[in-house]
Amino acid sequence: MRGFTLIEVLVALSIAAFALVALLGRLGASSDVQLTLMQQHAAETVARNQLAEQMLKPDAAANEESGDVQWQGKNFHWRAWTVKTELPRFVRRNVTVQAEGQPEVRLFVFLVRP
């Protein structure tokens, strides 16, 4: 009966160790992507809320506004402004939201002026 030699066992263990290191590296990258997606979703939610508030204001299409809001323990800076369209009664209301150190999220809605 023949067993494994010490060299064969060491080679198998080193291959397994390299595989585990590679998998753990991918796990760390995956958690970074997950964190980025969660932050992006939070910014989009704040932007949607700001657009909804803008739609409820009767004079919102005329002014440019900005402010800060806190959501889920994080501060977000938002800005809303209006852009004219080719149709006389329609305007495009833009909202941008950005958390410190994160990319800007921009959403818009078309509104009809009274």
Residues of the chain with pLDDT below 70 are 1, 58-62
98: buried, middle or exposed (CB in 10 Å: 19+, 13-18, 0-12)?
middle
Domain boundaries, the chain: 6-112
- Domain 6-112 sits in CATH at 3.30.1300.30
Q: What is the pLDDT of residue 53?
A: 87
Q: For residue 75, give every residue at least 6 positions away whose Cβ sits within 8 Å of its Cβ, in sequence order, or none.
A: 68, 69, 99, 100
CA 7 from centre of chain? 50
Nearest CA to 78 among 91, 59, 93?
93
Q: How many CA atoms lie within 13 A of 30 on its CB side?
A: 6
